[in-house]
Chain A
């Protein structure tokens, strides 16, 4: 076959028609990235790997080749436990609980009222 790619010209391009068995694939590891010391470690994506050591080696270039990195963590996808998406409703009322909200405590009004009263 004609190719314009000098790299390919050096390789033999004979191919068979065999395809990959669909059940043969590496497992995935979820990757977590820490940008700076003191920052949270956040989920950034996955890599395919056969063991945690390989997952780290792969994660470094997939997720650490730009910007700053201090560390990467990998966790086998099947080892991560999550809520089911139907359980999201358990979190629904949380934002309404304004007694946890600093803006809920408005003492200034009361102080001013108190001071005005004392002035009289």
Chain B
């Protein structure tokens, strides 16, 4: 659902100081400048590999952790149509995790190493999945708005420079087009339904508003930058631009249902830029660092799944076979 291109201060510093073979670097950079993709067997700068692994891995974790809040409602979906759509949708998130882990594997980190790093906290996932899905309306809002936000991010990232990641994202965007539609359908049913249905929808929108603004990362003026990530087409758009694009696409679709966002300052200016009250970025940091309402539960559930499945994987292992990194 989300591959964060946001750098830590420390990473940004190192990125801007690591020295590479100038000739190879030149060939690599001009390939990217020509609009060609980088494939796994190509030479690439250490930092390029490292940042891509970090980003794709984080994106993959976001998919499989993102399956959890929605998964809580699979057994409670209220009719056949919703039940089938929700199972298929959550299944897709797992499938997208599978595709993304595979893309990251081509860079030389195994799926097991990545999953271990998720569980031991070395590697992050999107903050938005550390919030609970309290009612059925949360499923509608996640399906429509969280997936909407993710698609903004993914469509942009699919224009990046690393071949396997682009291929995975193209497939993901194609598969996810139904997520948005079913999410919107669900939102519309609630908004045009009973008093109770409208009330739970409004409540869910109120709770998801800030996490959605947080989704694209801190404002540009507060983020660490690296020109290189832009030049290498690892990062393709600024946080503020993506956030603005999201608001532009989705806010009107909620307003037309006579549902509000909990922000009196939310409005579109004449220049096309959306204005909103600055969300609490300290909360964003607190949640990233583990203090969100569901961080502990998400990791505990993933840990449970890993451990409960360990005997299965051990039994499937064939010790005579040697692992090699996938090709593409």
Chain A interface residues toward B at CB < 8 A? 1-8, 11, 13, 15-16, 18-22, 24-28, 30, 43-51, 54, 62, 65-66, 76-78, 80, 82, 84-85
Contact indicator B71/A82 (Cβ below 8 Å): no
Report Cα–Cα, A11/B68, bound state, in Å. Answer: 14
Contact indicator A13/B301 (Cβ below 8 Å): yes
Q: A46-B102, A46-B326, A78-B322 are in contact. Are A26 and B313 (CB under 8 A)?
A: yes
Cβ-based interface call for B45 (8 A): no
- A and B contact pairs by CB, cutoff 8 A, 24 listed: A1-B297, A4-B72, A4-B133, A4-B297, A5-B71, A5-B72, A6-B75, A7-B74, A8-B297, A11-B304, A15-B304, A16-B307, A22-B110, A24-B314, A25-B323, A28-B326, A30-B326, A45-B99, A45-B167, A46-B105, A48-B111, A77-B326, A77-B327, A78-B324
If over half of B's interface residues share one DSSP class (helix, strand or loop), that class is named, otherwise mixed; here it is: helix
Contact indicator B112/A22 (Cβ below 8 Å): yes
Q: For B76, give the chain A residue with the smallest CB separation.
A: A6
Of A19, A48, A76, A82, the contact of B116 (CB 8 Å cutoff)? A19
- Residue among B120, B175, B303, B308 with max Cβ neighbours from chain A (10 Å): B303
Of A1, A43, A45, A85, the contact of B41 (CB 8 Å cutoff)? A85
Digitize B141-152: 1 where CB-to-A-CB distance is under 8 Å, 0 elsewhere.
000000000000
Q: A4-B72, A77-B324 are in contact. Are A22 and B113 (CB under 8 A)?
A: yes
Cβ-based interface call for B266 (8 A): no
Least CB distance from B13 to A in Å reads: 28
Q: Which residues of A contact B303 (CB under 8 A)?
A: 15
Contact indicator B317/A50 (Cβ below 8 Å): yes
Cβ-based interface call for B256 (8 A): no
Cβ-based interface call for B316 (8 A): yes
Of A7, A18, A85, the contact of B75 (CB 8 Å cutoff)? A7
Q: Which residues of B contact A48 (CB under 8 A)?
A: 111
Q: For B99, give the chain A residue with the smallest CB separation.
A: A45
Contact indicator A7/B132 (Cβ below 8 Å): no
Interface residues in B104-144 (C-beta closer than 8 Å to A): 105, 110-113, 115-116, 119-120, 132-134
Q: A4-B72, A13-B301, A13-B304 are in contact. Are A51 and B318 (CB under 8 A)?
A: yes
Chain B interface residues toward A at CB < 8 A? 39, 41-43, 68, 71-72, 74-76, 91, 95, 98-99, 102, 105, 110-113, 115-116, 119-120, 132-134, 167-168, 171, 175, 296-297, 300-301, 303-304, 306-308, 310, 313-314, 316-318, 321-328
Report the 3 A-B pairs with minimum CB-CB distance, sorted nearest first. A5-B72, A50-B316, A15-B303
Contact indicator A20/B39 (Cβ below 8 Å): no
Q: Which residues of A contact B316 (CB under 8 A)?
A: 26, 49-50, 54
Report Cα–Cα, A49/B321, bound state, in Å. Answer: 11
Q: Which residues of B contact A54 (CB under 8 A)?
A: 316
Least CB distance from B78 to A in Å reads: 15
Contact indicator B112/A24 (Cβ below 8 Å): yes
Report Cα–Cα, A43/B308, bound state, in Å. Answer: 32
Contact indicator B300/A27 (Cβ below 8 Å): no
Least CB distance from A3 to B in Å reads: 5
Report Cα–Cα, A1/B133, bound state, in Å. Answer: 17
Taking A6-B76, A27-B323, A50-B318 as known contacts, 5 extra A-B pairs with beta carbons closer than 8 A to each other, sorted by chain A number, are: A19-B116, A20-B116, A48-B111, A51-B318, A77-B325
Least CB distance from B73 to A in Å reads: 9
Contact indicator A85/B112 (Cβ below 8 Å): no
